């Protein structure tokens, strides 16, 4: 089954909420854990036990594991396996991007089942050109996995590149959305190439993005809910008819409820209820 089909089914069962697993040093400290690989392990075990069976997608940020070297990567490998055992899809937030054999190596690492880091999907940066991601896109498709391409990210600095105009008059973000739509054309129930469009952006029209541009027949990862300032209630205004494609992404909004597992679950359920109510309205 393709990633898009698995995601479509699981969003129907569990709702579209995506929870980021971002073990910042300050968060580890707030949980009373050391900023070590052992602290990371305990953090991840708590998160997986509390919520991996409740959400459609867990999104570990690779950088917070990489900073601990090989021991941190080993924790990340175990997190991926444990989350998937609980039925969650794993979106590896690695934002990789390069050309040629290097992109193929990233594909081998993140979307090939032969790798212990293989996840259901990975985030990718297309700013060496969308076509530079071809080895990653092809490998993901061959293995039934997905890729989320950065289009218009939630950080204000992103506009310097993503709102620049291409030779056909579209801005770069719209061009990325359009090329993702080509990858997903004709695929049912949902394509496996997603895009990242921040929930903090406000009016997309002022950014040169029409709501119709978001209809890519693939998932839209919407970071920025909670600590970055966006609210679940902002999503209908931003995404319009593309709302059924949206995966709202939260991290600190849930994780700060730890280290108590019951509190983590309660925080997750509260956000899931908000998202589900928003979809019904």
**115-119 average pLDDT score:** 98
> 65 lies in which domain range?
3-276
The answer on pLDDT for 61 being more than 90 is yes
> Does residue 143 lie within any of the structural domains?
yes
> Does residue 281 lie within any of the structural domains?
no
pLDDT band at 156 (very low <50, low <70, confident <90, very high): confident
How many domains, the chain? 1
- Residue 146 to residue 122: CA distance in whole angstroms: 7
Structure tokens at 147: 């890729």
- Residue 93 to residue 46: CA distance in whole angstroms: 20
Query: Where residue 85 sits, what CATH number does that domain have?
Result: 3.20.20.70
The answer on pLDDT for 281 being more than 70 is no
> Does residue 81 lie within any of the structural domains?
yes
In this prediction, residue 86 carries a pLDDT of 97
Place of tokens 């032969």: 114
pTM (two decimals): 0.96
pLDDT band at 229 (very low <50, low <70, confident <90, very high): confident
- Residue 136, CA distances (Å) to 77, 141, 229, 272 in order: 20, 9, 32, 31
Q: Does residue 137 contact residue 183 with C-beta atoms inside 8 Å?
A: yes
Overall residue count recorded for the chain in this entry: 281
272 is catalytic: no
Terminal-to-terminal C-alpha distance of the chain: 31
- Residue 19 to residue 13: CA distance in whole angstroms: 16
Task: Name the catalytic one among 14, 78, 84, 95.
Answer: 95
Place of tokens 């069962």: 13
The answer on pLDDT for 208 being more than 80 is yes
């Amino acid at each position: 089954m393709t990633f898009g089909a698995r995601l479509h089914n699981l969003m129907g069962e569990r709702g579209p909420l995506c929870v980021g697993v971002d073990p910042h040093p300050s968060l580890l400290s707030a949980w009373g854990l050391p900023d070590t690989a052992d602290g990371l392990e305990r953090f991840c075990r708590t998160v997986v036990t509390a919520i991996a069976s409740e959400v459609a997608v867990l999104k570990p940020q690779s950088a917070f594991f990489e900073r601990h070297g090989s021991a941190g990567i080993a924790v990340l490998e175990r997190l991926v396996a444990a989350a998937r055992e609980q039925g969650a899809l794993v979106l590896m937030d690695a934002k990789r991007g390069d050309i040629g054999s290097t992109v193929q190596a990233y594909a081998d690492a993140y979307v090939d089942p032969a790798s212990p880091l293989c996840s259901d999907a990975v985030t990718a940066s297309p700013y060496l050109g969308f076509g530079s991601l071809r080895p990653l896109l092809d490998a993901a498709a061959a293995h039934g996995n997905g890729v989320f391409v950065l289009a218009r990210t939630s950080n204000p600095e992103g506009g310097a590149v993503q709102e620049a105009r291409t030779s056909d008059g579209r801005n770069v973000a719209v061009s990325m959305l359009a090329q993702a739509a080509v990858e997903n054309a004709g695929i049912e129930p949902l394509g496996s190439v997603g895009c990242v469009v921040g929930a903090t952006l406000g009016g997309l029209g002022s950014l040169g993005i029409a709501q119709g541009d978001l209809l890519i027949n693939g998932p839209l990862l919407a970071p920025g809910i909670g600590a970055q300032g966006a609210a679940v209630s902002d999503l209908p205004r931003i995404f319009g008819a593309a709302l059924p494609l949206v995966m709202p992404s939260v991290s600190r909004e849930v994780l700060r409820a730890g280290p108590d597992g019951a509190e983590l679950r309660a925080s997750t359920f509260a956000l899931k209820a908000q998202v589900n109510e928003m979809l019904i309205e």
